[in-house]
Amino acid sequence: MTEKIYQYVLYTVLTVTAAFSIFLVAADNIAPFTTQASMHRNIVTIAPEASGVINHVAVENGQWVNAGDTLFTLDDQSYQLKVKQAKAELIQAEQSFQASEQQLIAAKQTLLQRQKQQRNTQAKLSRNKALYKKGLTTTQTIEDSQLNVKVAHSALLAAQADVLRIEAQLTDAENNAAIQLARTKLASAELDQRHTRIIAQTAGVVTNLQLQPGSYISQGATALLLVNEAQAWLSADFNEKGISHLKQGNTAYIAFDALPGQVFIGHVESQERAIRDSNNSGGQLVDVANDNRWIREQQKVRVRIQIEDLDANSTAQLISGARASLSMVNGSPVIDAISSTWIHLVALFRYIY
């Protein structure tokens, strides 16, 4: 009796082993399985938009921050001086504009005087011509009067040109080039000063914080990273033989290395439609890879998996980069039962390794 029991147990183990072996061999075609999956989250790179010495670090590594919270500040003394300089230049431009307005008033008064002088010289010439006809004046007087008329006309043209020149420079205060340039410079200086206070543009957890007060940091240099815990997905690489089961919306069983014994459900969100070919770079000679193996390595296809049932506790235990194993649902009750059993065994095995 005991031998029969051992025999049944042995046959059962062999049968299950053979079944799973066949399943694993055929898995790429009927229910794709992979251990090459990792979790990703949106990561925001924080870099200052101004250069300077770090004055104060307001956060700690691993701290949760909200959008608008101050992360760190830079010494802004030099930026304050630039703001003061820009304000002084704006005042100077406005004063220069006002002075030009006064010059315009004076130029218009001069123009009126030149117009009167021209009328007077023209009238005097007319009178002298009348006297000349009566023999009461000389030719020299007529020539002097004609010269005075020409001089007055030239002075009038010069006064008109001076008025036009000043009007072209002035236009109006809102469109004056010098004032607009000074205002733009002031706005830029004030913006640079505000950039000495680096704030979070989105909520997340601070990571890779290595800032120290007193250190100099350049504009655009990475200062720290914010990990958005609210959004997470899996990038999984499957053998391309199972691409027919990697369509958008297809279901997947997920077992995380960090959460042994637990199996989650996910769905294919998208599939990458191109793989970089390192042996065929554009504009260069083709680099042919020689391989003496009879069976070559299979091409991988990357898909993005959206996790459906992660609770807050599980999310807190999973870092960006957490590894996972996945098995795709086939739609056949028998194959899906085997696939589910297999992924549960993988999840339990994570207690050991």
Is 275 or 235 the better-scoring residue by pLDDT? 235
Query: How far apart are the C-alpha atoms of 27 and 330, rounded to whole Å?
Result: 10
Q: Is 216 exposed, middle or buried (0-12, 13-18, 19+ CB in 10 A)?
A: exposed
Architecture of domain 78-191: Orthogonal Bundle (1.10)
Query: How far apart are the C-alpha atoms of 257 and 351, rounded to whole Å?
Result: 9
How many residues appear in the chain? 353
Candidates 12, 260, 119, 126; CA nearest to 4 is 12
**pLDDT for the residue 156:** 79
Convert 285-322 to b/e letters by CB count within 10 Å (16 or more is b): eeeeeeeeeeeeeeeebbbbbebeebeeeeeeebebeb
How would residue 281 be classed by pLDDT, with cut points 50, 70 and 90? Answer: low
| pLDDT (tens digit per residue) in 36-86 | 999 998 888 999 999 999 999 999 998 999 999 999 999 999 999 999 999
Q: Are 298 and 240 in contact (CB under 8 A)?
A: yes
**pLDDT for the residue 254:** 93
Q: Is 140 exposed, middle or buried (0-12, 13-18, 19+ CB in 10 A)?
A: exposed
Taking 80 as the threshold, does the pLDDT of residue 275 lie above it?
no
**pLDDT for the residue 169:** 67
Please state the domain extents for the chain.
31-41+230-274+298-352, 78-191
Q: Are 234 and 307 in contact (CB under 8 A)?
A: yes
| pLDDT (tens digit per residue) in 225-274 | 999 877 889 999 988 888 888 888 999 999 999 899 899 999 999 888 87
**Domain 31-41+230-274+298-352 adopts which CATH fold?**
Elongation Factor Tu (Ef-tu); domain 3 (2.40.30)
Q: Are 258 and 39 in contact (CB under 8 A)?
A: no
Query: How far apart are the C-alpha atoms of 142 and 122, rounded to whole Å?
Result: 11
Q: What residues does 65 pair with on adjacent strands?
A: 204
Q: What residues does 217 pair with on adjacent strands?
A: 52
Taking 60 as the threshold, does the pLDDT of residue 346 lie above it?
yes
The predicted model gives 135-156 an average pLDDT of 80
The predicted model gives 151-156 an average pLDDT of 82
| pLDDT (tens digit per residue) in 1-32 | 677 777 777 878 888 777 767 766 667 778 88
Query: How far apart are the C-alpha atoms of 106 and 162, rounded to whole Å?
Result: 10
| pLDDT (tens digit per residue) in 288-327 | 666 666 667 778 889 999 988 777 777 778 888 899 999 9
**pLDDT for the residue 83:** 93
| pLDDT, the chain, mean | 84
**pLDDT for the residue 308:** 84
**pLDDT for the residue 323:** 93
Q: Are 224 and 76 in contact (CB under 8 A)?
A: no
